[in-house]
Structure 1
């Protein structure tokens, strides 16, 4: 298999790298943090102008038809600059669900708006009791003469506070005692009965707890009219996990480069730290962890559109390995910086926080090791 990037992929990676270095360098990030500025509408318009919002969307609806490999290249650049944006929530999760399950009319209405930056979407699926079990959905939708009524609660919904629409999963009932499959519903964020409680998330950005109390929706709110959307939920969750793995690789790369520069300039007993052989060995281990993570992130992207078991196995393998590797690199970076590693003056601590958040999103190391083992055992049994 030839893994050499195409000319288009190379140009994408270079343009994303230039943008991040210019707009999200250490000084720029520090100024944003001091001013308390989050991700801006202006930056989102820049993403749209650069074609990044359209990147993985279907060409028939204003997209560029890119795949998970191209998304991974973009996300790796985001990770290098610790870019805080609703890209995963809107483009990978929200638009991904619409592209996979939406009716032609829903796709034609929503996807072009997402591609041009006029619409943001949040994917509200996780629930407190589920513990990463995507099939565990207690939120319920009851059909009546006027459409649907939703009741329930969602937790840790990425970027819901600035979304225009929520894509909400709910167990479909003919009546409250007749449970059927899981559907995905298009819910305006400001719909009556929708309540958001928003908190800052570790490493930047926001997450919301979403409560739905008697939320009334029209008959056309069910995405694609699909009453068994669990395969779609699993697919977009795996795509988002693969994208976050690529972002983690970018964070690991910056941590290694920053730490290498620090130990070359920081002197102890009249000599730079880099002359210490033990520290050089630790830096070598960190560099190896980055390359291992990069290979697994690419593998997850290459399998993103494979059959479900192969896709899930590749993504879980990558998430587990990169989760451990990213923790190792971040913790070593903090330790090699000494006390400076946990001060606000340096950003090492901020990268560590984002790594911790990455590890928790869509399941931690233990969850994905168990998932990978179960899928592998099922494959051998078959």
Structure 2
């Protein structure tokens, strides 16, 4: 099967979507399929990947508010690539220009809308949460759901990346055909990778001794991740216990966060680590994972933390909350730095051996990325077979 993802969220310096597609390309090649990504770029170029996978960058304008990403403008070069490759499935995940480009292409492929996020949750609900109820915000932005509904009607299937997003969108009346829960690279992450020396080195970077508590946060530096709130919470929790925080990431808010941590002597920021083995060792060597975003629809990094044996301090809404259990996690009111600080102190005060053991017991139940890829291909194949059956009967 040949799958082409026309993806405005893919960027060499991107976050979760880039990580997901990079791994998906490799997995589908191993499973005997081909994944090709068509993405906006600063120039026209092709990036070859093992097993026949590749990325076609189509020269496109950048987004004015986030230079990491671009926006397709001209449909012709994308349609020409689709005509050339004649895919079995064309995927789209953006509600902007790529939706029209995929929907308007005249080829026979199955069209799939793969939902990675919910813009209503990520933006209006976050912006106006202090002044209006969720119901009020949903009514005010009902035009967006109507806009989405019109586009979804032009696709053969609509799938989400997990049950949290499925529940949210269906509750607002949007069509969802299948839930394809994401998975992690389970083979990389393990509590056995925990290193006392690495832990001590990270605490030293935070200006703390080995008997301090070490938190790790991983994610793009963007307002929806709420890193300033997490940093404030760590600072407040640090007034009661010696706590260090290591943040891994980059993004449009990096400079803002650098200024923010100037007042936090025990918080350190480092660039993303893309080598999975190195990242897994760092995660396993922390004491707990802390997260700020309630808008994420699947707790991918939180699941990797669990597989590393880490307890969680996460908001009470969103993808991370969906996997949190009292045996190994403390949740807090989303967006509330004071309650986040309380959760961190509560987690640090519990029996760490029992917490890590409970996290380790749950980790094997998290889907692997291979299981996700296989289920997605099976879903697409069922649609292809159904269409072929209808064609033969006609």
TM-score bracket for the superposition, by shorter chain length? under 0.3
Relative contact order: is structure 1 or structure 2 higher (C-alpha 8 Å, sep ≥ 6)?
Answer: 1
Give the alignment's TM-score, normalised by structure 1: 0.25
Give the alignment's TM-score, normalised by structure 2: 0.25
Structure with higher helix content:
1
